[in-house]
Amino acid sequence: MLGAVDNWVPLQESHDAFFCVVDLHALTLPWDPKTLRERVLQMSALLLARGIDPDRAVLFVQSHVPAHSELSWLLMCVARMGELRRMIQFREKSKGQGEAVGAGLFTYPVLQAADVLLYQARGVPVGEDQKQHVELMRDLAQRFNALLGETFVVPEPWIQARGARVLALDNPAEKMSKSAPREASKILLVDSPDAIARKIRSAVTDSGREVRAGEDKPALTNLLTIFSLVSGESIAELEARFSGMGYGDFKKALAEAVIANLHDTQQRYLELMADPGELLRLLVIGADKARDVAETTMAEVRSAVGLGPRI
């Protein structure tokens, strides 16, 4: 999340930016109804605390804009089983489940496409692992336009070189994910300083003692990437800074840098969570703005497919 959100924040200055807390997507895996609402508020607070500005961007909760579900169904009717079956994340998350895999996990990339196409987005800031999903969005938009007339802007993936792919601390062959069950694999924006230091101390490293990036050092490359994200120093500068030093000193400095970087974010997060009324007020404003745009798109979509205006 760190690399993603820090890449999103500058877009508020130059684009009409929409940021959606995807609570419907959360239902594709087992969930606890009692905690779902709390998690939505926590994610909203984290985005605001990290720099998403409701005066410059639109921040809202997915399920608060019913057009997401409606457009998802209409796009489902032009999607193809084969293209959904090829989605890498579906194949990875459904391993071992066979016919027991949830249909939502299979079809959620179509809902993801609706999340973007509703707002006629020209660009989607994503990590490398999400590029295939943007390609599906493009395919669905182009197919819909060809079948039913020009309706959707065909979006492009915007992949930032910096922080495009942060890997798991305990396995640099995997992406770092907040949904991963292994606590030691990830740093959360709300982790305490002690938890951050502990996770970084236990992060896997490569053979040898040299602190440098390279194809033969995937673990150190990942840790250097994180250090670069939180400190603003380039990887080359960090390699020079820690030349001749061991992994222990490097990890200690990395932990201190992460803790310092997250300090203000965590303080603002606590303030927001202490005032849920204000947080909900901001989300209501965002949902109203999002619905205005979404309904304009849906009027065009309903006309194109032959449903006509709502009565």
- 95 counts as catalytic: no
Token pair, residue 45, equals 């607070």
Map tokens 């987005």 to a residue.
121
Q: What are phi and psi of 19, to 5 degrees?
A: -125, 125
Q: Which is the catalytic residue, given 93, 131, 252, 289?
A: 93
Q: Which is the catalytic residue, given 34, 95, 131, 178?
A: 178
Query: 206-214 — which CB contacts under 8 Å span 24+ positions?
Result: 209/246, 209/247, 211/238, 211/239, 211/242, 211/243, 211/245, 211/246, 211/247, 211/250, 212/239, 213/239
Q: How far apart are the C-alpha atoms of 105 and 120, rounded to whole Å?
A: 25
- Partners of 18 in beta bridges: 58
Q: What are phi and psi of 87, to 5 degrees?
A: -65, 125
**What does the angle CA 301 – CA 22 – CA 277 come to, to the nearest 5 degrees?**
110
Q: How far apart are the C-alpha atoms of 300 and 122, rounded to whole Å?
A: 18
Q: Which is the catalytic residue, given 34, 175, 186, 251?
A: 175
- 178 counts as catalytic: yes
Strands, E assignment, the chain:
17-21, 57-61, 123-126, 156-159, 167-168, 171-175
Q: What are phi and psi of 59, to 5 degrees?
A: -115, 125
- 251 counts as catalytic: no
Collect all residues with Cβ–Cβ distance below 8 Å to 157 and sequence separation of at least 6: 123, 124, 126, 130, 131, 134, 135
Catalytic residue annotation: 93, 175, 178
